[in-house]
Amino acid sequence: MIRTKLYVVTAALAFLALLAPSAMAETGTLCEEDTTASGCEAAEASHVHFTTGEEPVKLLSTVNVKCDGLFLGEVLESGAPLIIHGNYTYTNCETFSGGECKSVTEVSTNSLFEVLKTGSELAEVADVSKVLVYCVGIHCVYNGTGLKAVAEGSLKSGHLTIEEQALNKVSGLLCPKTATLDLLLESLTELFIRSSDENTVLCEEDTTASGCEAAEASHVHFTTLSEEPAKLLSNTVNVRCDTLFLGEALELGAPLIIHGNYTYTNCETFSGGECKSVAEVSTDSLLEVLKTGSEVAEVADTGEVLVECVSIHCVFKGTGLKAVAEGSLKSGHLTIEEQALNKVSGLLCPKTATLDLLLESLTEFFIRE
């Protein structure tokens, strides 16, 4: 999937995972010269350069914004998908009526593109980076999760295109209820989309070789970020905690099985109320990690947790929760965004409860074979 959302203007395109090539798509590589062979007879392309031409990037909403955009990227890894790391630069930004834009800036550290070959000189592109749009009447951060760009190689148009697809608001003031991205980028160098072979495995070190040159990863370590504790959100009491997960990989497969335990510290309600206990009450937690793409996995958890804070004394479990894990070539994070929890037992339990969670891996994981 070329998950690339070159969001030039308002949504910059930007660990556990076991690469799973799509049955409908081919492992891809980018070549500097045209060749009829599988793979590149000449050198593979190591960098990409995209720019807007006569058509600026457009953010369409209650306030319409346009910018010239430039993307410079480095090809990190051929595969299914191909991984490209880079950054956007936005210039000459203004509203359609000529209003001032103080800033249109990529606020993610970088952009990571996933480019998935879907046909002859065709690919789909995806990206998860973020952009700040600060123009007259709008001050918002957007991301492009869910956008699908179409890329064509130089034997076709050499363009990357998104046609009025919806953007996702991350934060900000005076943000429109709806916003869409309209984008046409052209490559400054010739690029040819070809096929190559790819296999995968979970390794402790980054390597371009087949298999793990170092040992396969046997343990995982996740923690919440200092500025982003885990949150239990309900209609009665909202609770936050720092969280640590230590786990051991028991079995590689589909899914990968990880056995471990959670530790919760510094727990309190959003208003500062006391929490007597937030503790894992299951003997352990079993994580099922199922590969869904390059450096991306879906994670299920069967553990249970006791939450005893102020007016709530309940045991919850996460059956049905679906976390998204990203490898170290991406964010290295595991994320759950406000998904429903299941009450197991307890008194004064809220009618509804959701979990909001962002964990960061303390060790690096890379996918190879």
CB 265 within 8 A of CB 275: no
Q: What gap in Å lies between CA 362 and CA 50, rounded to an integer?
A: 34
Using one digit for the tens of pLDDT, what is the confidence trace for 10-47?
222 222 222 223 333 445 666 656 655 455 555 566 66
User: Which of the 8 DSSP states describes residue 246?
Assistant: E
CB 169 within 8 A of CB 142: yes
- What pLDDT score was predicted for residue 296? 78
Higher local confidence (pLDDT), 130 or 100: 100
Mean pLDDT, residues 174-203? 68
pLDDT grade, residue 242 (50/70/90)? Answer: very high
- What pLDDT score was predicted for residue 96? 92
pLDDT of 3 higher than 50: no
CB 24 within 8 A of CB 1: no
pLDDT of 196 higher than 70: no
Weakest mean pLDDT among 238-247, 305-314, 323-332: 323-332
- What pLDDT score was predicted for residue 271? 92
Provide the residue ranges of all domains of the chain, joining segments of one domain with +: 28-195, 219-367
- What pLDDT score was predicted for residue 79? 65
Dihedral (Cα; 195, 201, 206, 208), 10-degree rounding: -30
- For residue 199, what are its two tokens? 């296999």
pLDDT grade, residue 243 (50/70/90)? Answer: very high
CB 45 within 8 A of CB 83: no
Please, how many CA atoms are within 13 Å of residue 181, restricted to the half-sphere of its CB? 32
pLDDT of 5 higher than 50: no
Q: The tokens 């010739």 sit on which residue?
A: 190
Mean pLDDT, residues 77-106? 84
What does residue 73 show for φ and ψ, rounded to 5 degrees? -140, 160
Dihedral (Cα; 85, 51, 117, 156), 10-degree rounding: -160
- pLDDT > 70 in the chain, percent: 75
Mean pLDDT, residues 182-194? 78
- For residue 291, what are its two tokens? 């590969």
CB 115 within 8 A of CB 28: yes
- For residue 91, what are its two tokens? 């210039």
What does residue 89 show for φ and ψ, rounded to 5 degrees? -130, 130
CB 45 within 8 A of CB 76: no
Counting other chains too, the contacts that 41-44 makes at CB distance below 8 Å and 24 or more residues apart are 44/75, 44/78
**DSSP-derived pairing of the beta strands 304-309 and 275-280:** antiparallel
CB 9 within 8 A of CB 104: yes
Higher local confidence (pLDDT), 84 or 97: 97
Contacts of 272 (CB under 8 A, 6+ apart): none
Higher local confidence (pLDDT), 360 or 348: 360
Angle at 278 between CA 274 and CA 283, to 5 degrees: 165
Mean pLDDT, residues 57-72? 84
DSSP β-bridge partners for residue 69: 90
pTM score, whole prediction: 0.46
On average, the pLDDT of the chain sits at 75
Q: What gap in Å lies between CA 64 and CA 135, rounded to an integer?
A: 9
